[in-house]
Amino acid sequence: EKGTAKTTLVRGLAGILPSISVVAGCRFSCDPADPDPGCPDGPHPPGSPARHRAARLVELPLGATDDRVTGSLDVPRVLAGATTAEAFAPGLLALAHRGVLYVDEINLLPDHIVDVLLDAAATGATSVEREGISLRHASRFLLVGTMNPEEGELRPQLLDRFGLCVPVIASDDPARRAALVRARLEHDRAPAASTEAHAAAERELGSRIGAARAALGLVVLADPELLRVTTACATLGVDGMRG
């Protein structure tokens, strides 16, 4: 539903995402433990200097152009003698690598941008072939979109790339609605105090996410659980095998 703080909720992810380790100086956020062999800023030899930084939450606006999404050439740098890779200005898909890419009103996204997103989601990389540019870089991200179904449906090909859908519906309870408004008014009056009041809960949630990521590789999917998943998909009429 509109007016249910969907965008605020997604932006709040930035505060709880665990930090990541990146190759120092790499504009494409290569992982020091597993750098992209085709990185335009590479190659990155083993033991390259690394630094820690917060994972990014990158917003893709509806009016974004192709070159803003996939990247563009910095013409002055080219004229100054820089190579294509050096003069390439990374786009939003490069900035979102190993982070979150957020699209508000994703059902209203132009088709040509949807096609770019689908390509990146399917391959885990972004290829740029235009205006004398020919390069590729890794582009793996968590795609999050919000939308109001009343304003139009999501393209089936893009819908197929989401593993989870959460309906956000305003409460009918006047007391809960009053509590929400009161919390917002208190934040407007004292933003710093409001943020500090929730800082401990955010840190704890971030630690849980980090621990879950670390444990994910140790999870074993037992046959009875796999059958439970496939039974649910069959019962719900899920198309294809991706679900």
Instruction: For residue 221, report the phi and psi dihedrals to the nearest 5 degrees.
Output: -90, 105
Question: 41: closest CA among 56, 20, 60, 24?
Answer: 24
Q: What are the residue numbers of the active site? A: 242
Q: Which residues pair with 57 in a beta bridge?
A: 100
d(CA 33, CA 105): 36
Using CB atoms within 10 Å of the CB of residue 232, give its burial: 0 to 12 exposed, 13 to 18 middle, 19+ buried.
exposed
CA distance 93 to 137: 9
- Can you tell me the distance from the alpha carbon of 161 to that of 119, in angstroms, rounded to the nearest whole number? 11
Quick check: 133 and 125 in contact, CB under 8 A?
no
